[in-house]
């Protein structure tokens, strides 16, 4: 069986968040189980595209509005990712340095989808399944099924994985001029609340949809930024499949990006060495416990709670806790953290920005990883944390419910869970965690437990394969 994943992020081609990690790993694990899985993603100007060689496998053009737009499809030559990676190169439209935040985003993603389908239509053998990821490619199921331009693709099955519903890619109806012709009575398959909603359209037109955790699947039926009734209506073709982690890349015993490698048997000394290295680099006290946060500074992640949480934790004069924050985003949050940095120079360090290598160092160094998320479709950070022996302190929501059990509520608990997205709730959970990790035996047991949990892609890769089989039979 052949499956093509379509996404606007894929690690290491271009990464903004967890979407890239999923698309950059899942196909390799699917191939391990006999599925011919590959990826199509836009050609950006990133270190990956600069450092690798590509061959042109297709040259063509598609119609967008009144224009004929030329494009090429480039394939990476050395199979460096362990699966074919095909990049759609559309000059002046996709070949940019960033993935998101351009004012012509609608044109950008429509162009990508039309180019992809034009290339797909040219293949001698079609894949059995096109697997779309998130709203940026959410028009594909509709375009394949209901436009005369791509009618030849109508029998290919489509799956959409919902990584997040915060952003749905809504477009005003005047943008329908950019789409190929379709019978007007099909408009309802694109529309939600008077606009073209690519995510809603994908859910309506796909053969199956998945969410990135079972917890998120249930949650979306109650809370989905306006799409809850659609998720309820279509729930029979929906499945919650928990994300996995790429254990080749995220593995403390072989990770080249951390100061000292370690395994379960050497976790105590290994984490101590990594913590010392990071704290010295940042001029933090080195002996205390280290609490970390990694992620976008957005309300969804609970990043707006960080300043208050830190103030409350640091209110006590004891200096046995330091905090390391890696992320960027909302300027108000950044400014408030700047103020705290000046106030607590040896207890708080913040790296404002995105740094993949530093994220590995932080997982390896941290004793505790905080995720005060208001919404968390799956969350990968807590999985990486556990793999690196850092104990997660999380708000119970979405995928965090599915992956972290509270130490004080279960004998095989793996972390600390709090219920409300309030600073005081987070602080109570952190204090519970600090009490526990103050005991050397308890912390060792907890780290070992987290490190031995199986979050590999093997199981979810097979769940996706079962789903493909169900919809193609």
Nearer to ligand ADP, 326 or 461 (CB): 326
Q: Which residue is nearest to ligand ADP (CB)?
A: 18
Per-residue binding string, ligand ADP, 345-384, x by CB under 6 A, is ---------xxx--x------------------xxxx---
Q: Which of 87, 294, 407, 417 binds ligand ADP (CB under 6 A)?
A: 294
Nearer to ligand ADP, 327 or 423 (CB): 327
Most distant CA pair in the chain: distance in Å? Answer: 70
Residues 19-58 that bind ligand ADP (CB under 6 A): 19, 21
Nearer to ligand ADP, 317 or 353 (CB): 353
User: Is residue 295 near ligand ADP by the rule CB under 6 A?
Assistant: yes
Burial 18-35 (b: 16+ CB within 10 A, else e): bbbbbbbbbbbbbbeeeb
Tokens 């608990």 — which residue? 413
Nearer to ligand ADP, 71 or 363 (CB): 363
User: Is residue 327 near ligand ADP by the rule CB under 6 A?
Assistant: yes
Does residue 163 contact residue 21 with C-beta atoms inside 8 Å? no
Shortest Å distance, C-beta 295 to ligand ADP: 5
User: Is residue 326 near ligand ADP by the rule CB under 6 A?
Assistant: yes
Rounded to the nearest angstrom, the gap between the alpha carbon of residue 215 and the centroid of all alpha carbons in its chain is: 16
Give Cβ neighbours of residue 268 (< 8 Å, ≥ 6 apart): 440, 444, 447
User: Is residue 398 near ligand ADP by the rule CB under 6 A?
Assistant: no
Tokens of 109: 């993603």
Per-residue binding string, ligand ADP, 107-136, x by CB under 6 A, is ------------------------------
Shortest Å distance, C-beta 11 to ligand ADP: 8
Shortest Å distance, C-beta 151 to ligand ADP: 35
User: Is residue 18 near ligand ADP by the rule CB under 6 A?
Assistant: yes
Cα angle for residues 236, 35, 460 (degrees, 5° grid)? 50
Site residues (CB under 6 A) for ligand ADP?
A: 17-19, 21, 294-296, 326-327, 354-356, 359, 378-381
């Amino acid at each position: 069986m052949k499956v093509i994943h379509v996404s606007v992020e894929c690690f290491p081609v271009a990464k903004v968040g967890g979407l890239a990690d999923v698309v950059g790993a899942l196909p390799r694990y699917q191939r391990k189980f006999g599925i011919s899985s590959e990826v199509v993603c836009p050609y950006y100007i990133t270190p990956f595209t600069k450092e690798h060689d590509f061959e042109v496998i297709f040259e063509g053009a598609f119609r967008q509005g009144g224009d004929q737009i030329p494009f090429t499809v480039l394939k990476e030559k050395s199979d460096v990712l362990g699966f074919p990676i095909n990049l759609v190169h559309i000059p002046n439209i996709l070949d940019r340095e960033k993935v998101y935040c351009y004012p012509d985003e609608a044109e950008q993603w429509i162009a990508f989808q039309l180019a992809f389908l034009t290339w797909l239509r040219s293949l001698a053998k079609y894949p059995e399944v096109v697997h779309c990821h998130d709203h940026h490619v959410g028009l594909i199921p509709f375009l394949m099924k209901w436009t005369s331009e791509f009618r030849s693709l109508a029998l290919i099955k489509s799956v959409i994985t919902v990584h997040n519903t915060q952003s749905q890619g809504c477009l005003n109806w005047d943008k329908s001029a950019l789409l190929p012709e379709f019978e007007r009575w099909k408009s309802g398959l694109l529309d939600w609340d008077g606009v073209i909603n690519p995510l809603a359209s994908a859910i309506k037109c796909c053969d199956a949809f998945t969410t990135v955790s079972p917890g998120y699947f249930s949650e979306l039926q109650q809370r989905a930024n306006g799409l809850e009734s659609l998720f309820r209506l279509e729930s029979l073709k929906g499945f919650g499949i928990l994300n996995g982690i790429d254990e080749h890349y995220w593995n403390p015993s072989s990770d080249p990006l951390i100061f000292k490698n370690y395994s379960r048997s050497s976790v105590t000394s290994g984490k101590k060495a990594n913590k010392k290295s990071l704290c010295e680099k940042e001029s933090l006290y080195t002996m205390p416990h280290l609490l970390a946060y990694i992620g976008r500074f957005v309300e969804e992640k609970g990043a707006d709670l960080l300043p208050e949480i830190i103030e409350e934790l640091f209110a006590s004069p004891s200096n046995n806790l330091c905090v390391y924050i890696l992320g960027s985003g909302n300027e108000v949050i950044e400014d408030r953290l700047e103020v705290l940095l000046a106030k607590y120079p040896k207890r708080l360090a913040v790296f404002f920005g995105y740094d993949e290598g530093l994220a590995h160092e932080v997982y390896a160094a941290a004793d505790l990883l905080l995720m005060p998320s208001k919404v968390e479709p799956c969350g990968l950070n807590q999985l990486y944390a556990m793999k690196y022996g850092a104990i997660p302190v999380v708000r119970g929501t979405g995928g965090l419910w599915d992956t972290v059990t509270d130490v004080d509520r279960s004998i095989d608990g793996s972390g600390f869970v709090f219920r409300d997205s309030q600073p005081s709730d987070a602080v109570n959970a952190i204090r519970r965690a600090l009490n526990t990790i103050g005991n050397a035996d308890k912390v060792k047991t907890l780290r070992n437990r987290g490190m031995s949990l199986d979050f590999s892609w093997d199981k979810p890769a097979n769940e996706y394969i079962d789903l493909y089989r169900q919809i193609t039979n």
